[in-house]
Structure 1
């Protein structure tokens, strides 16, 4: 099923209203859809490099809006909607583990890593942020920064290097994003430690 869904998502890039489909996939990815918007974004940006930054903006805006929808599901309808969605994707156990230690610091880490690297899946973290009532303003800002960084970095690489960078993106970009996220997190906690602000982790 996942392979067919992946192939269907990729096929949307060739449709006349591909940009609209990108907005739809970016939105639903952040709350319940399994396939990341990158699958659609990369071939679209390769096909029309001059529109790469426009596509990155569309993907970022609708990913953030989808994140807000996921947040609302977690905040207002966890039992009715979020729990069945997470159970369907086999993510309920992982969610409960994250929920057990979802203090401000831990949630900041998860929002950063999910936005940059899809680890853990962004839909899990958006629902989590709503379920534990993280501040909405903080949540939106983190989504804009993390998701925007990912899509605009992809747009830059695809405009600059074209098809030659595609293999690198598909094979190595996640590793680089993980390292970048780890460095940002280490810097954050290093500054907290120097400032003597107390407990670093909530669990």
Structure 2
């Protein structure tokens, strides 16, 4: 069954549609405070379809992610107590409280001491919303928060854009040829990561 080959062809066709940048912007914005799907899932095929626009798409995703992170910060800062039951029902509360404890311990020494932690957070496969909510709950100063979000998420989308801009045609040809193997491999990796995360949290 050639499941991922057909899916890849469909995604590549869709990524060339005029409305694709709007969808990328919306996903990047919402993912920063609510949605669990990383925007790179849309950014990659869009950049592959049009490598000359890879950095433009990356910058669009980054800008919307930063705006979304401010929404997550505000929700955590002003509405955390009111939304606590909802967060508990969603299963987010333990993870958010875990990061609140870490950020609070770092911030007690100096606001910029959490910068490195948040930069690293932007590069690990943990949903960004946990860090944006936790930062708002702790009340981190906005300048270190926005700077860390920009660097943390920026290095991800810019690295992806650079790779596709540099190897776009060859990468697209390889992905098209081996899309089935890549798809099933990524699916197995996702299951393994989710299993590890569930086991340790």
Please identify runs of 4+ aligned residues in structure 1 that moved more than 4 A. 163-168
Separation (CA, whole Å) in 2 of partners of 1:51 and 1:127? 32
SS in 1 for 2:103: coil
1:22 and 1:37 in contact (8 A); partners too: yes
1:126 aligns with 132
In structure 1, what is the Cα distance between the partners aligned to 2:65 and 2:48? 20
Give the aligned partner of residue 33 of structure 1: 35
> Rg bigger for which structure?
2
Distance 1:92 1:110 in 2: 20
Matches within 5 A, 1:1-203: 13=15, 15-81=17-83, 84-85=86-87, 87-88=89-90, 90-103=91-104, 104=106, 107-118=114-125, 120-162=126-168, 164-165=170-171
Shift of 1:85: 4.2
Where relative contact order (Cα < 8 A, 6+ residues apart) is larger, the structure is 2
Contact 1:73 1:82 in 2 (8 A): no
Structure 1 position 81, deviation (Å): 3.6
1:133 and 1:53 map into 2 onto residues whose CA distance is 32
TM-score (ref. length: structure 2):
0.70
- 1:109: Cα distance to partner? 4.4
TM-score by length of 1: 0.69
Unaligned runs of 5+ in 1: 1-6, 172-203
* 1:82 shift after superposition: 6.2
Per-residue deviation, 1:80: 2.7
SS in 2 for 1:100: helix
1:193 maps to what in 2?
A: none
The CA deviation string for residues 22-63 of structure 1, in whole angstroms up to 9 with x for no partner, is: 110000000001101011000000000010010011001000
CA distance change for structure 1 residues 55 and 86 in 2, over 3 Å: closer, same or farther?
farther
Structure 2 stretches lacking a partner, 5+ long? 1-6, 108-112, 176-181, 187-201
